[in-house]
Amino acid sequence: MRGLIVNADDFGLSPGVNAGVLEAYLVGIVRSASLVATAPCAEQAAHQAAEVGLELGLHLNLTTGRPACPLEEVPSLVDADGRFHSLGELLLRLAAGRVQPDDLERELEAQVARARLLGVRPSHLNAHHHVHLHPMVGAAALRLAAAHGLPLRCPVEPPRGWHPRDLARGLLLLPPAWRLRRQAQALGIPTAHHFLGISLGYGFDARALAAALLRLPEGLTELMCHPGYPDAELAAATRYTAGRERELVALTDPRVRQALETRGIRLARWSEACAW
């Protein structure tokens, strides 16, 4: 059997992202999304998802916007303006031992609590910019997943046939992703057997997606995607904007549906992960 969880990340970042994710669910092949509980449009996203029955997980965030905790409770995670550090700065601070583990634990738990206040019962966990692949953040994410009984994304994607532009990033992520998967399995935390998304790159088109689906292995695969419509709020939060609309077009393209049927792939949700 071949199962595919098509999961849209960054839900809540902006009205345009929210609209794109919902369209990819209602018209396309997306079956779950990951909510950024700290994002400006998270409340809107949660209400919209509830209206249409879209399953939501949590996109743990340590690199965009402001924390869920009061600033005085997580001083090692924020800058002088009370905002999260950029990804590069966070990694440098982690390497230098300038991030307090207790701050991480408090903030990640607070993000779960905020999602629940918005009416969301998270179905899975992953992290913005894959920050949970860092050992310290990963340890906190594993404890969170185990405590709440949630599947965890482990983006293990072997670099076979990758485009050269994506190869360096993929090779950098692969060893910590393997380590995280081994740790999750040892703790009995569910995860997908396979991962797809890094090799497709940002802004993939329908042709590339259909070709990837025709090569899908047996078992359960998670496809990471970022559909959306660019808007001012999105541009203020991330550099990745224009490619989101191309992904949305791909996720709603009939050729992609045909590839699923040809390969006998069943669309699944994270809530079904334990059955695979």
For residue 193, the Cα-to-chain-centroid distance in whole angstroms is 16
Stretch 47-61: mean pLDDT: 98
Residues 6+ positions from 167 with CB-CB distance below 8 Å: 159
Longest dimension (CA), the chain: 55
Amino acid sitting at position 226? H
Express each pLDDT in 165-175 by its tens digit: 666 666 788 89
What pLDDT, in 10s, does the model give residues 229-263? 999 999 999 999 999 999 999 999 999 999 999 99
CB-neighbour burial class of residue 139 (10 A; exposed 0-12, middle 13-18, buried 19+): middle
Mean pLDDT, residues 71-89 taken together: 97
Lowest mean pLDDT among 121-130, 164-173, 184-193, 266-275: 164-173
What is the rounded CA–CA span in Å between residue 52 and residue 94? 39
Does residue 90 contact residue 68 with C-beta atoms inside 8 Å?
no
- Measured distance CA(210)–CA(214) in Å, rounded: 6
Measured between alpha carbons, how far is 26 from 184 in angstroms, rounded to an integer? 32
Structure tokens at 224: 């990471």
Mean pLDDT on 147-160: 91
* Residue 224 · residue 9 · CB < 8 Å: yes
Query: Domain segments of the chain: what residues?
Result: 2-275
Q: What pLDDT was estimated at residue 103?
A: 98
pLDDT > 80? residue 83: yes
Closest alpha carbon to 54 in 44, 64, 46, 65: 46
Q: For residue 41, what pLDDT band results from cuts at 50, 70 and 90?
A: very high
Percent of the chain with pLDDT over 90: 89
What's the predicted TM-score (pTM) here? 0.95
Helix axes 243-251, 15-26, angle to 10 degrees: 20
The residue-averaged pLDDT of 261-271 equals 95
- Strand 194-196 to 125-127 pairing: unpaired
**CATH architecture, domain defined by 2-275:** Alpha-Beta Barrel (3.20)
pLDDT attached to residue 168: 66
Side-chain half-sphere exposure of 29, counting CA atoms within 13 A = 30
pLDDT at site 276: 78
H-helix or E-strand containing 211? helix 206-214
- Residue 226 scores a pLDDT above 80: yes
Cα–Cα distance measured from residue 193 to residue 257, given in angstroms and rounded to the nearest whole number: 22
Element at 74 (helix H, strand E) = none
The predicted model gives 7-29 an average pLDDT of 98
Percent of the chain with pLDDT over 70: 96
